Chain A
């Protein structure tokens, strides 16, 4: 089969991520740099929340926040921040947290609820959105408009995921600069690296696509995909799993390298389950990831490894995608998802399935289309 005959939105996004990095960087930087010093100095704790990809972007950015700012950072489920987290965590100074809420459309009911609740109890709130007129923006004290062009393709979202992540990184750098936890030299160097890092990976687009297509042909009939990643790379695992569902509705699961050995290892018919492992040599759990990969080899699951090191480190039977190693470890999630975006895009194209169940009328019923508006009910607890 000729791969040029197969196309998919996720594929097209994966090819052009650097272009969007440039756009978002240019839009967000001046806004991030206007975030006031007082609010940044007030922050005793940082909360990041959102739904779906936005939440994953938070997980991906947590290492950057903790490393750059030195402030405890909790990436929290939107339902927990809006309904379950005790309000004592959101109170006024000296406990005033900085709450960063992400929603591309700015209309997701739960995230708006988070904004209202956090603002009510005194937290400083920042919205990251593509819609500065949205309810989310209106209910947060500050708004970062990522400014993605209106004519872009954003579903299933890889571009929006990277845009959210980049905006978070720029906020983290702003906090680090204001609180003097990174030096001006580091600050400048991190900015330069942010601008060029994704582009370095995109030089491998052709190679990755060729291999992704070959893998997609083999994987399209598998029973499920199972993703493994640790710490910030856990976000990449989670994101890959979500793309399986969004692109072609496949069964999928994800875990970290340790817990995988205790649970998902026991899934039956492992030869019919594709495993995707994010295993960067520069991370402290690389040793554990190698042990996990060895267990996967023994149970003969087809396996893709996304790594910053050479393929010789891994069993021969595995498909290894080597991505450039970032100078700063926390940038890795910006590119780690690219290889599997391509695989998922090709699987969907080969299966001829539209994203988000667009071929099933039940998914366009009123109850379905209203589900993210949450019956418009906003509860402040």
Chain B
């Protein structure tokens, strides 16, 4: 059995927005007890991350470190804009999807682990998809 749902969200600038509850709702709606859930953004300047949330400091660190590692420079070959060029790199390096195991109708995860939509070139209107497969 498969259930695919699309969600729309308005992101912020350099934002990490928790979407775990939407994922959990989709699993519940699908009625699937055991299987896989995949969360994906069909964009190339955003991503999906699995992060252990121990407070805002962690997400702030991630955003800052990403900017430090892949700054918005003016000398990328891609000339759309420095932010956009850096966003493409972040997106490809850190990924645009995550998959998690569904067990007993629940996400198999650490207590503080959450799924985040990462915006690298926002704010924008974004879509993300949740696909649950299993039985």
Q: Is A364 an interface position by the 8 A CB rule?
A: no
Q: How many pairs, one residue from A and one from B, have CB atoms within 8 Å of each other in the complex? A: 35
Q: Is B75 an interface position by the 8 A CB rule?
A: yes
Instruction: Name B81's contact: one of A34, A37, A38, A188 (CB within 8 Å).
Output: A37
Please name 8 pairs of A and B residues whose Cβ atoms are closer than 8 Å in the assembled complex, sorted by A. A37-B82, A177-B80, A178-B82, A180-B72, A180-B82, A183-B13, A183-B122, A185-B10
Interface size class of B (residues with CB under 8 A): 10 to 19
Task: Give the residue name and chain of the B residue nearest to A177 (CB).
Answer: B81
Task: Give the residue name and chain of the B residue nearest to A34 (CB).
Answer: B79
B124: chain A residues within 8 A (beta carbon): 183-185, 188
A contacts, CB < 8 Å to B: 33-34, 36-38, 41, 177-178, 180, 183-185, 188
Q: Is B125 an interface position by the 8 A CB rule?
A: yes
Further 6 A-B residue pairs, CB within 8 A, beyond A180-B82, A183-B123: A34-B79, A183-B13, A183-B122, A183-B124, A184-B121, A184-B124
Contact (A38, B75) CB under 8 Å given A33-B80, A178-B82: yes
Q: Judging by beta carbons under 8 Å apart, are B123 and A38 in contact?
A: no
* A185 to B122 alpha-carbon distance, docked (Å): 7
Contact (A38, B74) CB under 8 Å given A184-B121, A184-B122, A185-B124: yes
Question: Which among A36, A37, A38, A183 has the highest number of chain B CB atoms within 10 Å?
Answer: A37
Task: Give the residue name and chain of the B residue nearest to A185 (CB).
Answer: B123
For the residues of A in contact with B, the DSSP-based class is helix
Instruction: Name B125's contact: one of A36, A41, A185 (CB within 8 Å).
Output: A185
Instruction: Name A37's contact: one of B10, B74, B125 (CB within 8 Å).
Output: B74
Q: Judging by beta carbons under 8 Å apart, are A180 and B79 in contact?
A: no
* A183 to B124 alpha-carbon distance, docked (Å): 8
| A43 CB to nearest B CB, Å | 12
* A37 to B83 alpha-carbon distance, docked (Å): 11
Instruction: Name A41's contact: one of B10, B13, B74, B122 (CB within 8 Å).
Output: B74
* A37 to B80 alpha-carbon distance, docked (Å): 8
| B91 CB to nearest A CB, Å | 14
B75: chain A residues within 8 A (beta carbon): 37-38
| A18 CB to nearest B CB, Å | 26
* A184 to B14 alpha-carbon distance, docked (Å): 12
| B8 CB to nearest A CB, Å | 13
Q: Judging by beta carbons under 8 Å apart, are B79 and A37 in contact?
A: yes
Task: Give the residue name and chain of the B residue nearest to A175 (CB).
Answer: B81
Give the 4 A-B CB pairs with smallest separation, nearest first: A178-B81, A37-B74, A41-B74, A185-B123
